[in-house]
C-alpha cells in the first residue's frame, strides 16, 4: 500500500499545501491530511516544524521539545507539538505503537522514527481507523461532509475552525480541501492502485 521513500533529508517545498511524502492511499484522506497540515504546519519544511515556528534537525524520534505558549487559552503552558501534523509527544507515543510500520524497541517506547514518511503513514492509518473516531472519516468526506469531519477532529487539531485556537487559515480550509482533493483525485487516476 505504501512505497518506502528514503528520508535521510527532510524535503523542502516551495508551494503551499505541498504533497505528502507517503505514496498511495485514499485520496480523500490524503486531501484531509494536506488540509490539516495547511492549518497546523504551513511552511516550506513542515515535517520538522516545532510549535512556535522553529525547526528541528533530528527526526529519528519525536523531538519532545516543550515550547512555552505565549498566546491563547493555553498561555503559561508549553507544547511539544511537532511535525507536519503538530502532534504532541504523548499523542505520538499513543498512536505510533498502533500504526507505525517499523515498531520501535519495546524497552524504549519513544523510539518510533518521526521521519517525514512515518508522520504521514501513522496519521493516515490513524485517520482511517473508524474505531478511534467513531465515524468513517473517508465515507463522510465522500458524502461531502467536510464540516462534520473538521468538527470531529477539532479536539485533536484545534485550528481546524471548530477548536479553541483558530488561526488565519481556519476559514480557508474548505477551499483548501477542495483544491487538494482535486489534485489527489487526479493523481489517483494516474495510479489506480493508490486507493488501497
> 31-45, 137-151, 162-176: which has the minimum mean pLDDT?
162-176
CB within 8 Å of 174: residues ≥ 6 apart: 146, 147
Q: Quote the mean pLDDT of the chain.
A: 86
Q: Which residue has the higher pLDDT, 50 or 43?
A: 50
Partnered with residue 68 across adjacent β-strands are 78
- Rounded to the nearest 10 degrees, how much is the dihedral formed by the CA atoms of 134, 136, 142, 147? 20
Cell for 84? 507536519
Strands (E), the chain: 67-68, 78-79
Among the listed ranges 22-26, 58-62, 170-174, 187-191, which one has the minimum average pLDDT value?
A: 187-191
- 111: helix, strand or coil: coil
Please compute the mean of the pLDDT values over residues 98-111 and round it to a whole number: 72
C-alpha separations of 144 from 76, 93, 134, 138, 196 in Å: 39, 32, 18, 10, 20
pLDDT for 12 equals 67
What ranges do the domains of the chain cover?
27-43+94-195
Report the percent of the chain where pLDDT is more than 70: 83
Number of neighbours of residue 63 by Cβ within 10 angstroms: 23
pLDDT at 70: 87
Amino acid at each position: 500500500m505504501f512505497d518506502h521513500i528514503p528520508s535521510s533529508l527532510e524535503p523542502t517545498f516551495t508551494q503551499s499545501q505541498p504533497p505528502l511524502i507517503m505514496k498511495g492511499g485514499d485520496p480523500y484522506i490524503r486531501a484531509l491530511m494536506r488540509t490539516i497540515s495547511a492549518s497546523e504546519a504551513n511552511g516550506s519544511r513542515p515535517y520538522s516544524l516545532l510549535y512556535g515556528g522553529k525547526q528541528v534537525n533530528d527526526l529519528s524520534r519525536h523531538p519532545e521539545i516543550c515550547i512555552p505558549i505565549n498566546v491563547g487559552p493555553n498561555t503559561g503552558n508549553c507544547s511539544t507539538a511537532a511535525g507536519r501534523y503538530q502532534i504532541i509527544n504523548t499523542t505520538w507515543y499513543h498512536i505510533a505503537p498502533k500504526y507505525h510500520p517499523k515498531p520501535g524497541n519495546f524497552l524504549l517506547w519513544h523510539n518510533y522514527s518521526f521521519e517525514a514518511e512515518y508522520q504521514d503513514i501513522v496519521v493516515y492509518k490513524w485517520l482511517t481507523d473508524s474505531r478511534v473516531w467513531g465515524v468513517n472519516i473517508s465515507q463522510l468526506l465522500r458524502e461531502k461532509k467536510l464540516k462534520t469531519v473538521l468538527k470531529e477532529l477539532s479536539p485533536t487539531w484545534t485550528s481546524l475552525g471548530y477548536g479553541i485556537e483558530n488561526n488565519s487559515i481556519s476559514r480557508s480550509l474548505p477551499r483548501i480541501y477542495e483544491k487538494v482533493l482535486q489534485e489527489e483525485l487526479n493523481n489517483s487516476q494516474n495510479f489506480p492502485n493508490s486507493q488501497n
